[in-house]
Amino acid sequence: MPQYILALDQGTTSSRAILFDRKGRIVAQAQKEFTQFFPKPGWVEHDPQEIWSTQAGVAAEATVKAGQNGRSIAALGITNQRETVVVWNRKTGKPVYNAIVWQDRRTAAFCDQLRTEGREEGIREKTGLLLDAYFSASKVRWILDNVRGARRKAEAGQLAFGTIDSWLIWNFTQGELHITDVSNASRTMLFNIHTLQWDDELLALFDIPRSMLPEVRSSSEVYGHTKTTVFASKIPLAGIAGDQQAALFGQHCSEPGMVKSTYGTGCFLLMNTGTTPVPSRNKLLTTVAWQLNGQVHYALEGSIFMAGAVVQWVRDNLGIIKTAAEIEALARQVSGTGGVYFVPAFAGLGAPHWDPYARGTLLGMSRATTAAHIARASLEAIAFQTMDVLEAMKTDSGLPIAELRVDGGASANNLLMQFQADILHTTVIRPRILESTALGAAYLAGLAVGYWASPDDIQSTGQLGKVFKPKAGLTATTEGIDGWHRAVRAVRAWSQDG
């Protein structure tokens, strides 16, 4: 019977499952979107039970599509939206509140308070993270302080906390395993990335009982086996990584200085910095990339909150396109933006600015501005934000960037990728299979069970697709970069004046 690796990719807007063969090819896949809740401005929530049901459902669907059953799956790897938190009752397995999503800003004022108290530098030294509502710690604290009885139950050891990987594994093992991996732990703001341990001082600062926390494991090992009826037989759970770290691994960025950018809901750039964490002087994050065979790799990361979500907004809120794919054709109707700039700071600005109070702004419009100009400005905004982060990475690491490896839904847009290469003056490489995140989870799981013999073995799966070379001597590109920086300054001035 042929064997496959099943990767579960639990994202911000959908749950997906993909079966891969030994050559890294997709055998079958399934996807299901789930509900986004916005209870108040700046608040974003998911229903954890819906996340579990959709993820279990697509896992079963993909397996059936391939005409396979559980016995043909050599291992299961999980990759997930990071920082999003679930708190649940250990006895009943039921969440005490909705999942608070990484995009959620409700704890920004609390983070500001900690910053005023001078806590940011100490937090950054231990965790590699900037003090921001983006990360898990303040979200967990909010649940304990605002859900009736939650803190009392947590202090009595009755509640469990986890990022989405922990929640899924708890359900797949019917409560047998409460674990996470080092990459997800490093996003909570409770984990010391130097000692690779939960930090008592940080737990005290955020008032979170240690009893709530999952056990931290490596990114590639056999943790246990599934116990649910989703599959016909038990399957080894063997790989875990946060979605961006999984994409870095899936893109074969195994050497220091290699960079990938995932154009998903947000846009996330990671640079492998090897076995040494590199502190950032430019408001990037220092994070754990993965732990494999006892060896920890670190990365520099820049997070852009709005990438593919910009296209969704143009589709759903402006209504000038019917499907996301139509934006490229619309943008190609014009040769430039006509002086229009779009700074899509709907949830604040991420790296390298970290301005939580900035808001989305269109600048430079005139009576001549058309839907095509706005469409093109929307795509260019994604590329400009990526450029800003890469410049910060080069400065922090001291390493040149010879190429940028890209993946995620928006990387299928040829206009965007060519513009990206042009403004970076760097080659952009898009793999044959865009599912780098799921592929990374599959690689980690497969290595743990010997499906692939070694990291060198997975290199032979070769995923090279389309290469975008920068066009030389584009004066308009230089002018566009200057205009973008001016637009960002305007948006930040607006947020600071407010």
Tell me whether residue 174 is annotated as binding: no
Annotated binding-site residue? 338:
no
Phi and psi at residue 250, in whole multiples of 5°?
-65, -25
CB 406 within 8 A of CB 430: yes
244 carries a ligand binding annotation: yes
CB atoms under 10 Å from CB of 346, counted, come to 17
Residue type (1 letter), 255: E
127 labeled part of a ligand binding site: no
- Is 81 annotated for ligand binding? no
Identify the bridge partners of residue 14 per DSSP, sorted by sequence position: 33
d(CA 137, CA 428): 35
Residue 312 known to bind ligand: yes
Residue type, 349: L
486 is in an annotated binding site: no
8 Å CB contact between 146 and 154: no
**181 labelled binding-site residue:** no
Residues facing residue 31 across a β-bridge: 16
Helix locations, 425-474, DSSP H:
436-448, 455-459
83 is an annotated ligand-binding site residue = yes
In a 13 Å sphere around the CA of 322, the CA atoms on its Cβ side amount to: 0
Note whether 485 and 381 are within 8 A (CB): no
DSSP state of 410: G
Was 462 annotated as part of a binding site? no
Cβ atoms 85, 162 nearer than 8 A = yes
Residues 6 or more apart whose Cβ sits within 8 Å of residue 392 = 280, 282, 283, 284, 302, 351, 352
Q: Is 243 annotated as a binding residue?
A: yes
Can you give 292-329 as a three-state secondary structure string?
ECCEEEEEEEEEECCCHHHHHHHHHHHCCCCCCCHHHH
Is 134 annotated as contributing to ligand binding? yes
140 near 211, Cβ under 8 Å? no
Q: Per the structure block, which two tokens stand in for 93?
A: 């397995």
Annotated binding-site members for glycerol: 82-83, 134, 243-244
Annotated binding-site members for ADP: 12, 16, 265, 308, 409, 413
Annotated binding-site members for sn-glycerol 3-phosphate: 12, 82-83, 134, 243
Annotated binding-site members for ATP: 12-14, 265, 308, 312, 409
Annotated binding-site members: 12-14, 16, 82-83, 134, 243-244, 265, 308, 312, 409, 413
